[in-house]
Chain A
Amino acid sequence: MEQTSAITHSVMLDADKCKGCTTCIRHCPSEAIRVRGGLARITSEKCIDCGECIRVCPNHAKRAVYDELEELSKYEYRIALPAPTLYGQFNNLESVDYVLVGLLRCGFNAVFEVSKAAEIVSGYTRRLLKEGRAKTPIISSACPAVIRIIRSRFPYLCSYVLPVKSPMQLAASLARHEAMEKTGLPSEKIGVFFISPCPAKVTDVHYPIGLEKSDVDGVISISAIYKPLLAEMNKLKDPDIISESGLLGINWAVSGGESSGLMQERYLAADGVDNVMKVLDELENKRLPPLDFIELNACPGGCVGGPSTVENPFIAKARIQMLRKDLPFYKNDYPEKGFGDITLDWNDELAYRPVDAAGTDMATALERLSRIESLKEEFPGLDCGACGAPTCEALARDIVEGHAGKGDCLFFLKKSLEYIFADTKGNAVSMTDENGGLK
């Protein structure tokens, strides 16, 4: 796969499978993909890892780059951090303990539930709201794809993003600390692996936002661990009860779950990239009612809709609902004294990182944008994608930036050919007969 810059995202193309069909370019919410030379190419700095292209590719040519299970052998002591979405992947699951004990039999020495850390993050957020220490409405920072949308497209909203570790990052810090105390091993001999529904989390581990370094060492997809884990789970009878989270933490897997953890009504929960962008737009335009909290998930239905899950999001959601029936609301909270050296706060608030600047200075950008606007008028405005760019405007921009030519537009090309084949009087001649066939 050809990269146009340093790799800072986790969705990749399998060039052998790509047919250059242009389905992905029209579904990519950040217009990060172009088809050139018959292959899809992802512009790294624009990709937000939402996984839309993985979902829509008819040839399964898009995939997320995860760590393999073999990576575990690099570490002396291995910890699994299961995302609560994992619990929704299994039929007739009696308790979460089957999954947790199953993971222990898949080569892990310990498990630390991300849902447990989620309950702590919920408690911490409740505290921030109660003490008035955060600008409202607080925008959740748990979905890394949403964070990437905000920091590149909604500069004004960056300061509203909750500057607090996601449950995954917190779980990793707490699990590593616990393991070091318990085993006496140095940090580098302990491997912390997140079991993930989505590629955005991989990027969030390699390029964490708000943190210097993530405590997660590797990310394994739910789809990769599903089969070996299920095999182990099937061997279990009455597994030890080791789960330490309530229904609140498990609920984070579905849209609205994080909000319910705040125990108040002034919230909005939206899922799916289009809805997320619409809500952010309305917030920027001052159109939302006074809210305390906005929960946004890039995947439909929340994390259960992640592109690396095996189960349909609605089925997974129903299973999670049934799993919660005997659980207390929550078992964990942010402790009065905190966690010693482990803080929940980010180092900085979210910084605006524009990715679509048309030029380095205003004069250049203005001149380019004017050229794009007038060039756009030469194209039919169908946004057909046949040129390899998602819209006529995107093609105009690619041309102005020197990445494409007018001839990439089939309509423009046809007009040019008709001109070449003009009759003796210089009048353009249609190349096709009344039925659309070539003459």
Chain B
Amino acid sequence: MNYWRVPLDINKIEIPHGDVQIDVEQCKGCEFCVEYCPRDVLELSTDFNRKGYHYPNVLKHNACVNCTLCEMICPEFAIFVVEGKPINPDVNDVLKKEAKV
């Protein structure tokens, strides 16, 4: 998210965070999670699991906001999210984004 200026309550803001857990052997490589993750946390691995499917890998761990969409859309019960410690946005990150604008 881009801010025009640093919000006054920036120190109080907490961004939910999730730890994505992948049961690689359950995966059948449908890519639903990779395709529909709103934060593009996942990528498809180049490796195969035992059944010969490419399974998802966590690409951007910090980007996960624990929305559990991957968990919900997975037809194999192979991926789920554990609620992690919320992340406080870094003031410098926010400013960097502002500078871009």
User: Do these two chains interact?
Assistant: no
- A residues near B (Cβ < 8 Å) are none
